[in-house]
Structure 1
Amino acid sequence: MATAKTRSRKSRLWLWSVLLVVALLGAAWLAWGEGLRKTGGVGSAYAARVACSCRFVAGRSLEDCARDKLEGMELISLSEDAATKSVTASIPLVASDTASYREGYGCMLQEWKG
């Protein structure tokens, strides 16, 4: 039978293990997160602009346009706002960009920060 001292030791060990995992994940995010955010930002901006043109210039459905994504862009999801004629491409927790169709100009990114 476990004593109170043994249970306390096990709970402390469990707590330190969880803290170590969180610290390692935080360090990995700091080390590789910047590059991921930059490349993810470029990828989401590209996908938004191309999908917007596909949808509102070529007149194809968004589902059909999603099949045109390049290899490596599987994490990027597309959504449209038909009222504003815009498409948003996003990578969860990394990047999100929107491109809107303007008559005479085509599709343009909204405030891209690269």
Structure 2
Amino acid sequence: MIKRHPLLFVLTALLVLLALWSWQNRTHLAAFPGIVGAYSAKEYCSCRYVVGNPAEYCAGYVKQYLPLSDFLDDAARKRVTARGLGSNQTAAWTGPREGCQLQPQADPLP
């Protein structure tokens, strides 16, 4: 098989190695979707409500390569909610000494 189809063999070997690597790092890979929304919500909240920058500046500051599917800035309550890769994360301003903190998830997404 190797002499007849070397490209197929190499692709199969790479696929097997990728599957093994994915299995070994499954907990890290499972946590990744939550990081996108959490980073955006926390950094935007800090930029906007702790530092006091304008909304347009903070939106550009937290822009990532992976786009957010939803973003909500509740200026009245000083809360920011970001949804990215299927995970919803909320950060809220807690006070001048504490700054912004991520809020615990109440229920998993459907």
Q: Same fold (TM over 0.5)?
A: yes
Q: Distance in 2 between matches of 1:50 and 1:98?
A: 11
Q: Distance in 2 between matches of 1:71 and 1:82?
A: 22
Count residues in correspondence. 79
Q: Distance in 2 between matches of 1:37 and 1:96?
A: 14
The percent of aligned pairs where both chains have the same amino acid is 35
**Superposition CA RMSD, Å:** 2.6
Q: TM-score, normalised by structure 2?
A: 0.59
Q: Does structure 1 conserve the Cα–Cα contact (< 8 Å) formed by 2:68 and 2:82? A: no
Q: Distance in 2 between matches of 1:47 and 1:109?
A: 11
Q: Distance in 2 between matches of 1:42 and 1:64?
A: 21
Query: Structure 1 or 2: larger helix share?
Result: 1
Q: Distance in 2 between matches of 1:91 and 1:71?
A: 11
Q: Structure 2 unaligned segments of length 5 or more: list them.
A: 1-26
Superposition pairs for residues 11-90 of structure 1, below 5 Å? Answer: 38-69=31-62, 71-75=64-68, 77-90=70-83
Q: Does structure 1 conserve the Cα–Cα contact (< 8 Å) formed by 2:33 and 2:84? A: yes
Q: Structure 1 unaligned segments of length 5 or more: list them.
A: 1-33
1:87 alignment partner, SS class: strand
Q: Does structure 1 conserve the Cα–Cα contact (< 8 Å) formed by 2:67 and 2:84? A: no
Q: TM-score, normalised by structure 1?
A: 0.57
Q: CA offset at residue 78 of structure 1?
A: 2.8
1:57-97 deviation line (CA, Å, top 9, x unaligned): 111222221111254232354321112111111126x0111
Q: Does structure 2 conserve the Cα–Cα contact (< 8 Å) formed by 1:44 and 1:76? A: no
Counterpart code for 2:74: D
